Structure formats: structure tokens, C-alpha cells
């Protein structure tokens, strides 16, 4: 490792310059006017990987933006790791809120400012630089690597699912490393081993053929907003538990070990409240905030609309009302089963006075790598060496679509190693990544490749 670390430390200037070059591509996947920029970015990346010594480097087309694939499979008796990242970025707008142009990277007080620097160019590029070190110093990697850098993460990885299904053999590996998350605290190495799943629903209620006057009809005409309010209120009980029948049946309960790990995290609840301007947190009785955030299901109404919502008063009993909600699932809830149960329950909650329609579907499954998985101690050891700190184990409350895709198609353990600090403004103006974290990320990636050599997948 000494030569590797030495190489990385003596080439920081060059690596930073290359990262700057990468972030100068406005590879905004959502914008039609940037289609060419996205393609140029993919080409640049592929050429760079080719130059380092990776084999089978391809810019693989999809119906949308292309996927950059590369591999190196010459390490016999070593595991194969699929590394996932994305080279597309969020739109930079509103531009006037940036302190420096989003596609002209700039360092101020130790932070690199650029769109995509943290999400995700500065993260996957750390792996690329670690591989460069191995190729240069040793002529080989410690393990087999497959690299999949997609161009549509910020638009929901629209074409990734079909791509992965179609290229299962190509992508087959022993585990997946995903670097597209954040550290739990700045500089704190973080192993994220679980996500929540997602189901989305829309309730549409209709009680009459037309809006009615509240003078002539108030007191006997059913009001769809009242009915909707009662249905929403009925979706949770007094303990904050979701009342959909059998909803908790397949929920993986937290182990005492996880509870202890969550409780030990450097988490300041009062600071979080202040930051988001909230008076009080609520939720399911008997669980801590981090438990509720990462390991318990949640149901949130995302929007509601009915009747007159302008300025002033309109004495109307509306004919229709609508609400949208999402349910965050935890392992091992089946999204399809939950959606069907929610739909049946809502249809049953709606009184005869209302026509109800429940639409929606599955947004992704929850994912969990069991804490006992033998790959985790190796990853922890690698991070400990790179960051000189014991890594923490976290989950995320969000739903990462690509995890569903990978876990359904490839049935591999997936581990998320975040190399960006929290509050990096990933989807906001002035996105930034601490310069030092980029260098540490490359060393962490080098340690990961090194440590995983000793892993013997079952």
C-alpha cells in the first residue's frame, strides 16, 4: 500500500486538474440542450479509463443517455466488485445563487465548488484514481473490477433497469460498491447498508356531479374534503402506526446491535430541528428519530387539493377532492403487496357517499445488507485506515432506485460508501466537496480494493 498511497499523494495536483476537467462538462441529463454535453462527458470518461489500463471500455448506448462501462478481470482467485457511479448532474439553476459559475470549478476555503463535484463526479472519480495508482505502481489491480457509470441518475435512472436486466452476465459480480451518498458527519467514514422502499398512491374522491352551494346543501350533502380528511386521519393510529391491515407483517425489526449503533451516532436532534425550522418531531411511539428515519416505515401525504383555494371566501361544497401520498417501506415489505393493501383499505374506508379511485404503484423496494455480512468488516477496515477513524454504520431513509434494480437483477450485496460530506448542496446552488475529502476518497478506494482481495465470497 505504501507505493499506492505515495503515488496518490504525489499526484494530487494532476488528479484535481482531471477532476476539474470532468466537472467542466455540463452533463445535465434533464436538459435537452445538454444532450451533446452529456455524450461528450461520457466519451471523455471512457477515453480516460482506456488510457489507465481498464479493458473493454465502452460507451454503451441506451434509449436515453449512454452508460460508460469498463472492467479489469485479471485478478485470479480474487472477488469481482461492481462499482457504480453516475456522470450526469442536476441542473444548476437558479444560476444567480451561485457564487462562482457552476461549470467552472473553484476552490474557496478548502471547498471545491462545482455542479456535480459531490454528486457524483468527485466520488466515482476517486475509485478511478485509486485504480490508476495500482495500474501505474503494480500493473494490476488487487481484485477484479467492473465499472458502471451511468448518465441518467438525476432523471430517475430511466433506462438502467432494462440495461441491467439485459446485461446480467456482463455485470455479474460478488458485490456492488456504490459511492453516491454522504458521510453521516463531515469526515466521518460511513457505511450505509440499507435503504427504504417506496409506494406512491393518489386518492380521488367524487361525491357529486357538480360543485354545490353550501347554503342550499350544507348539512346533508357529503363533502369530499371531509371524507378525505377522515380517510387520511384514519391511516395512522394514536401511536403513529400505519393502520393498513397487515402492514407491519413483513417489517424487519431492528436488532439490538443496530439500535446501539444508531444511538451512538453523533446526532444533534435540536440542531436538526433548528436547521429545518421545526418545533417538534413526531412519529411512531417507541422509536428514536434515526430509527424512524431509516428503519421504520412512514406514510406521508405529499399533496392535497379540493374546492376553492384562492383569496377570500367561496361558499362551495366541492364535488371532488384529491390527495397524493407516499409510503416509505423497510425490508422486507413487498411494495406490490403494500400498494394493493393500501388500495383495498382506502376503498373500504371511503363511505358509500363517495366514489373513490386509488391509483399509484411501486417506486422501489427497500434494501438491506445484513449487518453480519462478511464483506462489511473488510470495508470497515479499509475506511478505518483511510480516515483514521472507526466508520459508522447507517442506513438511509430515501429510496435509491438503482439498488432495487441491482438487487432484483443481480442478487448481490450492495454497500454504499459515502465520500462526500453532508450538506454538500448536491441538488442546490453552490454544490461543493471538501478538497481533502477527494484525496481521502481516493485513498479509501485504494484501501477498499486492497482489503477486498482477502474476501472469499461464499
By CB under 8 A, the residues from 125 to 154 that bind a second copy are none
Distance CA 423, CA 85 (A): 19
Burial class (CB within 10 angstroms; exposed 0-12, middle 13-18, buried 19+) of 94 = exposed
**Site membership for Zn ion, residue 111 (CB under 5 A):** no
**Site membership for a second copy, residue 326 (CB under 8 A):** yes
3-state secondary structure of 194: strand
Provide the mask over 364-383, with x wherever binding to a second copy is found by CB under 8 A and - wherever it is not.
Answer: --------------------
Kindly report the number of other CB atoms within 10 A of residue 361's CB atom.
12
Of the candidate spans 32-40, 61-69, 253-261, 393-401, the one that interacts with a second copy by CB under 8 A turns out to be 393-401
**Site membership for a second copy, residue 245 (CB under 8 A):** no
Give the residue among 5, 375, 396, 390 at the shortest CA–CA distance from 188.
Answer: 390
Interface residue with a second copy, options 232, 362, 371, 380 (CB under 8 A):
232
128 Cβ contact list (under 8 Å, min separation 6):
48, 49, 52, 147
Distance CA 157, CA 177 (A): 17
Provide the mask over 134-173, with x wherever binding to Zn ion is found by CB under 5 A and - wherever it is not.
Answer: ----------------------------------------
Distance CA 442, CA 447 (A): 9
Interface residue with Zn ion, options 120, 291, 431, 435 (CB under 5 A):
120
What is the nearest approach in angstroms of a second copy to the Cβ of residue 150?
A: 20
Instruction: Look at phi and psi of residue 187 and say left if phi exceeds 0, alpha if psi is from -120 to 50, else beta.
Output: left
Provide the mask over 66-105, with x wherever binding to Zn ion is found by CB under 5 A and - wherever it is not.
Answer: ----------------------------------------
Of the candidate spans 20-28, 91-99, 168-176, 220-228, the one that interacts with a second copy by CB under 8 A turns out to be 220-228
Of the candidate spans 107-115, 227-235, 255-263, 331-339, the one that interacts with a second copy by CB under 8 A turns out to be 227-235
Give the residue among 172, 129, 178, 113 at the shortest CA–CA distance from 150.
Answer: 178
> Are 316 and 307 spatial neighbours (Cβ–Cβ below 8 Å)?
yes
- Give CA separation, 296 vs 11, 93, 427, 432, in Å: 45, 34, 26, 31
Interface residue with Zn ion, options 71, 152, 174, 180 (CB under 5 A):
180
Of the candidate spans 9-17, 94-102, 273-281, 432-440, the one that interacts with a second copy by CB under 8 A turns out to be 273-281
Spatial strand order of the sheet with 106-108 comes to 106-108, 111-113, 432-434
**Site membership for a second copy, residue 63 (CB under 8 A):** no
3-state secondary structure of 144: strand
> Are 16 and 447 spatial neighbours (Cβ–Cβ below 8 Å)?
no
Interface residues for a second copy in 341-360 (CB under 8 A)? 351-355, 360
Interface residues for a second copy in 179-208 (CB under 8 A)? 196, 198, 200, 207-208
- From a second copy, Zn ion, none, interface partner of 388 (C-beta below 5 to 8 A by class): none
**Site membership for a second copy, residue 426 (CB under 8 A):** no
Of the candidate spans 25-33, 78-86, 143-151, 215-223, the one that interacts with a second copy by CB under 8 A turns out to be 215-223
The DSSP letter of residue 112 is E
**Site membership for a second copy, residue 55 (CB under 8 A):** no
- Positions in the binding site for Zn ion (CB under 5 A): 119-120, 180
Amino acid at each position: 500500500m505504501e507505493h499506492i498511497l505515495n503515488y496518490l499523494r504525489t499526484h494530487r495536483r494532476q488528479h484535481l486538474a482531471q477532476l476539474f476537467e470532468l466537472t467542466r462538462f455540463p452533463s445535465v441529463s434533464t436538459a435537452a440542450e445538454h444532450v451533446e454535453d452529456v455524450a461528450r462527458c461520457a466519451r471523455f470518461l471512457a477515453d480516460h479509463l482506456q488510457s489507465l489500463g481498464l479493458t473493454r471500455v465502452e460507451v454503451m448506448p441506451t434509449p436515453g443517455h449512454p452508460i460508460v462501462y469498463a472492467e479489469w478481470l485479471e485478478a485470479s482467485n480474487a472477488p469481482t466488485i461492481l462499482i457504480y457511479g453516475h456522470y450526469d448532474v442536476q441542473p444548476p439553476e437558479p444560476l444567480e445563487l451561485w457564487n462562482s459559475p457552476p461549470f467552472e470549478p473553484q476552490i474557496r476555503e478548502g471547498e471545491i465548488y462545482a455542479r456535480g463535484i459531490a454528486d457524483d463526479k468527485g466520488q466515482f472519480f476517486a475509485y478511478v484514481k485509486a485504480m490508476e495508482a495500482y495500474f501505474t505502481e503494480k500493473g494490476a489491480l488487487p481484485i477484479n473490477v467492473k465499472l458502471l457509470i451511468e448518465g441518467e441518475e438525476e432523471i430517475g435512472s430511466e433506462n438502467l433497469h432494462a440495461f441491467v436486466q439485459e446485461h446480467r452476465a456482463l455485470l455479474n459480480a460478488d458485490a456492488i460498491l456504490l459511492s453516491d451518498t454522504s458521510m453521516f458527519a463531515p469526515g466521518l467514514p460511513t457505511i450505509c447498508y440499507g435503504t427504504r422502499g417506496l409506494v406512491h398512491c393518489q386518492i380521488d374522491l367524487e361525491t357529486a356531479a357538480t360543485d354545490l352551494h353550501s347554503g342550499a346543501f350544507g348539512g346533508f350533502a357529503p363533502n369530499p374534503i371531509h371524507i378525505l380528511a377522515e380517510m387520511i386521519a384514519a391511516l395512522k393510529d394514536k401511536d403513529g402506526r400505519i393502520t393498513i391491515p397487515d402492514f407491519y407483517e413483513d417489517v424487519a425489526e431492528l436488532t439490538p446491535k443496530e439500535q446501539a449503533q444508531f444511538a451512538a451516532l453523533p446526532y444533534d436532534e435540536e440542531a436538526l430541528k433548528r436547521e429545518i425550522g421545526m418545533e417538534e418531531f413526531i412519529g411512531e411511539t417507541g422509536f428514536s428519530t434515526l430509527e424512524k428515519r431509516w428503519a421504520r416505515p412512514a406514510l406521508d401525504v405529499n399533496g392535497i387539493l379540493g374546492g376553492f383555494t384562492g383569496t377570500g371566501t367561496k361558499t362551495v361544497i366541492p364535488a371532488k377532492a384529491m390527495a397524493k401520498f407516499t409510503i416509505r417501506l423497510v425490508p422486507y415489505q413487498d411494495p406490490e403487496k403494500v400498494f394493493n393493501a393500501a388500495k383495498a383499505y382506502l376503498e373500504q374506508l371511503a363511505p358509500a357517499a363517495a366514489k373513490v379511485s386509488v391509483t399509484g404503484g411501486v417506486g422501489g423496494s427497500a434494501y438491506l445488507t445484513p449487518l453480519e455480512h462478511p464483506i462489511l468488516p473488510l470495508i470497515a477496515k479499509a475506511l478505518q485506515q483511510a480516515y483514521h477513524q472507526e466508520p459508522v454504520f447507517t442506513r438511509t431513509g430515501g429510496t435509491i432506485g438503482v439498488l432495487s434494480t441491482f438487487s432484483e437483477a443481480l442478487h448481490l450485496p450492495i454497500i454504499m460508501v459515502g465520500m462526500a460530506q453532508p450538506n454538500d448542496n448536491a441538488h442546490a446552488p453552490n454544490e461543493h466537496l471538501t478538497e481533502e475529502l477527494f484525496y481521502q476518497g481516493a485513498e479509501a478506494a485504494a484501501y477498499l480494493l486492497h482489503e477486498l482481495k482477502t474476501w472469499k465470497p461464499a
